[in-house]
């Protein structure tokens, strides 16, 4: 069985589940690590929102729960994600990230003898530009391949590439 440690920050959408469960031909097992959104720096989230043209979302970053208040939504998102993975025929367990994500990630990879790490995240342009995003940082810590994927909102799918215009 192929084991992936899946680090997420929002509930898995149907498109996310299809994407991660079809990456390999083997039977899949997932250890899902849910990072509460409120743990991120509010200013960096707002800058990312503005850079992505999500001005309305940037205005409401102050409304995001933080600290203890972020744990309940994270637990619900984790349960939702585990249920979706299991419904897709995979083994799935998970936990909320409490503390430094890279320390937990390294520990889980070692304990489970994981084959890879998948960081499924929304774009974080500032961190990515400076290679301070979780996937870039994890590549130097975990000792297995690290794949970075962008999460989909529920109901969205990646657009199909357009065929070149004839002409």
- Of the candidates 88, 72, 109, 117, which has an alpha carbon nearest to the alpha carbon of residue 27? 88
Across 36-54, b (16+ Cβ under 10 Å) vs e yields: bbbbbeeeebbbbbeeeee
pLDDT by residue (tens digit) across 115-156? 999 998 876 555 555 445 677 778 888 999 998 888 877 644
Query: Coil, strand or helix: which one is 71?
Result: helix
pLDDT by residue (tens digit) across 9-45? 889 999 999 999 999 998 999 999 998 865 456 555 5
């Amino acid at each position: 069985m192929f084991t992936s440690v899946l680090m997420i920050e929002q509930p898995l959408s149907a498109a996310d589940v299809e994407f991660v469960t079809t990456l390999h031909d083997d039977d899949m097992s997932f250890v899902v690590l849910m990072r509460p959104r409120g743990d991120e720096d509010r200013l960096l989230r707002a800058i990312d929102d503005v850079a992505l043209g999500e001005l309305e979302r940037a205005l409401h970053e102050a409304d995001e729960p933080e600290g203890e208040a972020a744990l309940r939504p994270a637990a619900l998102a984790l349960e939702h994600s585990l249920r979706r993975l299991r419904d897709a025929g995979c083994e799935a367990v998970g936990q909320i990230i409490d503390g430094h994500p890279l320390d937990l990630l390294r520990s889980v990879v070692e304990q489970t003898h994981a084959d890879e790490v998948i960081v499924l995240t929304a774009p974080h342009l500032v961190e990515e530009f400076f290679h301070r995003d979780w996937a870039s940082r994890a590549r130097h810590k975990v000792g297995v391949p690290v794949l970075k994927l962008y999460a989909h909102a529920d109901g969205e799918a990646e657009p199909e590439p357009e065929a070149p215009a004839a002409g």
